[in-house]
Amino acid sequence: MTSSPADTPHASVDQTAVSAPEHLHIAVVGAGKAGTAVARSLLDAGYRVSLSASGDPQTLALMAGIITPGAEPKWTRDAVAGADLVILALPLHRLRLVDPALLEGKVVVDAMNYWPPVDGEIPAFEAEGLGSSVVVQEMFPGAAVVKTFNHTGYSSLEPDRRPAGHPERLGLAVAGNRPDAVALVSAVVDRIGYDPVPVGSLAATRFLQPGGSAFGARLTAAQLKELAGMTVEVTSAEIPSDNTFRPVVIRHGRAIGLSRDDSQWLSSTDSH
């Protein structure tokens, strides 16, 4: 395992971007179910968004104009080159096709999951006991990798957005080895409509992955912190006044769900 990129000069975060996160230009690599949901959320939050897939952006433009209007279709290298923040939302087995040099010095969100039915068996991810984002960080040593978005389903990302302070606002875990990169991504998560929950380093994120306690569950920030093993104080603001949210249920160490009613409860194995 290589060391964290924390000491590499290439991976420093532009402090201007951190202090003015609303002006970021964000590249989303992968224009499928997850990538387009993230892209639309970013566009709604006022970000400039470039979008890439595996092929020619002219082909992507036909689709993007309809399902992610406002996003700029580009070749991946062009999307990434001009971006303050890069979001990887492609299948993990395709990640080796992304040139590490493209991501040098970038803050890179890993929204991906290792999913053998789709990805096949990949030895590096099978062997890794610390979590898939640790492997992703090793693949891109010049980038500051931050894990978020992976533990929520693409179909709930947009409808679950809420403004800050809303009693039904949910949390999204944000993990990374670089505090400045985590801060930048947390500001984006907040602006999209979720409470960012810093949960520690990339090595502490197995609970966010398929089979993990937070995977696929709709959780408040307090519940995410609890699953992350952090001490929480549940404030009255986190308890909906109409009591329509039910508490997360932990069975056999896994979160079964949080929802407005029983019929919407989501198994933690339902999505990837």
Ligand X SMILES: NC(=O)c1ccc[n+]([C@@H]2O[C@H](COP(=O)([O-])OP(=O)(O)OC[C@H]3O[C@@H](n4cnc5c(N)ncnc54)[C@H](OP(=O)(O)O)[C@@H]3O)[C@@H](O)[C@H]2O)c1
Binding site for ligand X (CB under 6 A): 29-35, 52-55, 76, 89-92, 94, 97-98, 111-113, 115, 149-150, 153-154, 271-272
Pick 31 or 170: Cβ nearer ligand X? 31
Q: Are 155 and 16 in contact (CB under 8 A)?
A: no
What lies within 8 Å, CB to CB, of 256 at 6+ separation is 217, 248, 249, 250, 265, 266, 267, 268
State in angstroms the smallest separation of the CB of 31 from ligand X: 4
Instruction: For residue 176, give both structure tokens.
Output: 């990374």
∠ CA 108-110-114 to the nearest 5 degrees? 150
β-bridge partners, 50: 27, 72
Pick 4 or 52: Cβ nearer ligand X? 52
Distance (Å, whole) CA 97 – CA 245: 42
- Helix or strand or coil: residue 29? strand
Distance (Å, whole) CA 60 – CA 80: 16
State in angstroms the smallest separation of the CB of 256 from ligand X: 18
State in angstroms the smallest separation of the CB of 3 from ligand X: 25
Q: How far is CA 36 from CA 39, 74, 120, in A?
A: 5, 14, 23
Pick 13 or 41: Cβ nearer ligand X? 41
Distance (Å, whole) CA 272 – CA 263: 20
State in angstroms the smallest separation of the CB of 51 from ligand X: 9
Pick 38 or 144: Cβ nearer ligand X? 38
Pick 180 or 195: Cβ nearer ligand X? 195
Tokens 């909906």 map to which residue? Answer: 240
State in angstroms the smallest separation of the CB of 112 from ligand X: 3
- Helix or strand or coil: residue 188? helix
State in angstroms the smallest separation of the CB of 165 from ligand X: 26
Pick 35 or 193: Cβ nearer ligand X? 35
Of all residues in the shown chain, the one whose CB is closest to ligand X is: 32
